[in-house]
Chain A
Amino acid sequence: QKEVEQNSGPLSVPEGAIASLNCTYSDRGSQSFFWYRQYSGKSPELIMSIYSNGDKEDGRFTAQLNKASQYVSLLIRDSQPSDSATYLCAVKGSGTASKLTFGTGTRLQVTL
């Protein structure tokens, strides 16, 4: 069973701080990694994708991938109350066509 693990939270950070969200995966052959944001009652929306080891930055968001440790993270700089949502990590494993395995998500609360 290929698994994607996330701490369910809630992770509470003050406005302006850096939020760090973590995800581990079990399939060592995994190739592609995604972060989605899901507001309560809404569908997931894609934030970032990352395919190679290292960091990838997009605005206030930075995705970090370490395939040796089977670990992917999302950093949100200058956190805003509007960032309060559940963040889903998704992984495309080896030999799974285009299917993604999702973690159960980490709920982020940005406090004033």
Chain B
Amino acid sequence: SQTIHQWPATLVQPVGSPLSLECTVEGTSNPNLYWYRQAAGRGLQLLFYSVGIGQISSEVPQNLSASRPQDRQFILSSKKLLLSDSGFYLCAWSVRGLSTQYFGPGTRLTVL
């Protein structure tokens, strides 16, 4: 069966510090991968998605970037965090070509 991992689970960072969140998927090959952010009391906002190694599509201009160095690894980064980057970050995967998405446990980021 497929499993998706995210770490860390929670993170408190000062404004201006860098960020690296990691997501890995097990039990599948060539997945589509997605990064979402869910701000408090708001819906899921798609940040990035990837259909393959090194292939990243950005959905909204922002302070974040994403990379996919390996088939089942997706990384979300920032060079300098802003207060507005606080939120619940979710990684999701889907079978290539299908639209059903499955979410990881998420990382709760607080920027102070």
A binds B: yes
Inside 8 A of A43's CB, which chain B residues have their CB? 90, 103-106
User: In whole angstroms, how far apart are the Cα atoms of A46 and B42 in the complex?
Assistant: 19
Q: Are B43 and A45 in contact (CB under 8 A)?
A: no
Whether B103 and A99, one on each chain, are in contact in the complex, defined by CB atoms closer than 8 angstroms, is no
Q: Is the interface of A mostly helix, strand, loop or mixed?
A: loop
Specify which of B34, B42, B99 is in contact with A32 (CB 8 Å cutoff).
B99
Which residues of A, 28-74, contact B by the 8 Å Cβ criterion?
Answer: 31-32, 34, 36, 41-46, 49
- Give A5-39 as 1s and 0s: 1 = Cβ < 8 Å from B's Cβ atoms: 00000000000000000000000000110101000
> Which of B34, B43, B44, B102 has a CB less than 8 Å from the CB of A46?
B102
- Measured in the bound complex, the distance between the Cα atoms of B38 and A36 in whole Å is 14
Contacts of A41 in B (CB 8 A): 108
Q: Does B62 count as interface, using CB distance less than 8 angstroms?
A: no
Q: Is the CB of A44 within 8 A of B44?
A: yes
Chain A, interface size category, equals: 20 to 34
Contacts of A90 in B (CB 8 A): 101
A105 and B106 within 8 A (CB): no
Residues of A within 8 A of B99 (CB): 31-32, 34, 92, 98-100
Q: Could you jot down 25 A-B contacts, CB within 8 Å? A: A31-B99, A32-B100, A34-B101, A36-B103, A41-B108, A43-B104, A43-B105, A45-B103, A46-B101, A46-B102, A88-B44, A92-B99, A98-B32, A98-B49, A98-B94, A98-B97, A98-B99, A98-B101, A99-B34, A99-B46, A100-B46, A100-B101, A102-B44, A103-B43, A104-B42
